[in-house]
């Protein structure tokens, strides 16, 4: 699936902007779409690394430990109306906690916990998340409630960077490299998806036919 993309050229890992999520499960791909939009629209200083972390989980430990400040964009479950954006900073970002927040909590909280055990926890960390509306659409894109939040999340990330003294410049031309494979770009991903009439939306059609077909009646 989508995964860690290494930016071209030398990068000072002082600040990490990390999008995590699974593009194949509708609104779960929010964090990745947000960092793609940030990278496509804004030029940041070399000391800022913008990364599509996909579903890489603990493979992201080294980039997180190498950064002094981290912004994470993700789909999170905090019980608010679908499409709601929320921002959590520093101690409000759960590390050792029973509270379910991120949809990738098991891997991401474990990652943060390991960073703390290594005594290489970021000095500052900000989580920008959206409450998802649709998760059970296999191969789906962002829902109508969540899609408009992408640009808003980018603006929140830019504001956070500005508070940290990091300037951002609108790009006059597309970037030289993409964070994800060409096929995972939003337009290509949506344009290449077959219709619901020929593609199952909730799982493997072969398995569903086997379980729910005439022989199961």
Kind plus residue range of the DSSP H or E element containing 93: none
Who wins on pLDDT, 61 or 104?
A: 61
pLDDT at 22 over 70: yes
Residue 47 forms part of a structural domain: yes
Residue 7 forms part of a structural domain: no
pLDDT number for residue 56: 79
Beta bridge partners of 126: 71, 89
Estimate to the nearest angstrom the gap between the alpha carbon of 87 and the chain centroid.
Answer: 14
- Which residue, 17, 21, 78, is CA-closest to 48? 17
Rounded-to-integer distance, Cα 171 and Cα 4, Å = 23
Q: With beta carbons less than 8 A apart as the criterion, state whether 60 and 4 touch.
A: yes
What six digits make up the tokens of 92?
A: 């409000």
CATH assignment of the domain containing 115: 3.40.50.1450
Number of domains in the chain: 1
Q: Which domain holds residue 121?
A: 15-205
The per-residue pLDDT for range 122-177, each reduced to its tens digit, is: 999 999 999 999 888 878 889 999 999 999 999 999 999 999 999 999 999 988 88
The per-residue pLDDT for range 96-134, each reduced to its tens digit, is: 444 444 544 456 777 788 888 888 889 999 999 999 998
């Amino acid at each position: 699936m989508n995964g860690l993309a290494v930016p071209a050229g030398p990068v000072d890992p002082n600040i990490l902007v990390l999008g995590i999520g699974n593009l194949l499960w509708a609104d779960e791909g929010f964090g990745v779409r947000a960092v793609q939009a940030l990278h496509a629209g804004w030029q940041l200083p070399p000391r800022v690394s913008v990364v599509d972390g996909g579903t890489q989980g603990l493979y992201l430990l080294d980039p997180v430990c190498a950064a002094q400040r981290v912004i994470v964009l993700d789909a999170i479950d905090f019980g608010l109306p679908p499409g709601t954006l929320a921002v959590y900073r520093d101690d409000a970002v759960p590390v050792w906690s029973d509270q379910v927040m991120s949809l990738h909590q098991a891997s991401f909280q474990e990652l943060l916990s390991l960073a703390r055990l290594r005594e290489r926890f970021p000095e500052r960390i900000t989580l920008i998340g959206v409450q998802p509306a649709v998760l059970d659409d296999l191969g789906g894109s962002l829902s109508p409630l969540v899609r408009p939040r992408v640009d808003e999340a980018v603006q929140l990330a830019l504001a956070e960077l500005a508070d940290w003294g990091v300037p951002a410049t609108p790009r006059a031309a597309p970037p030289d490299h993409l964070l994800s494979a060409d096929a995972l770009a939003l337009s290509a991903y949506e344009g290449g998806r077959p219709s619901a009439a020929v593609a199952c939306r909730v799982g493997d059609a072969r398995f569903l036919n086997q379980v729910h077909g005439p022989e199961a009646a």
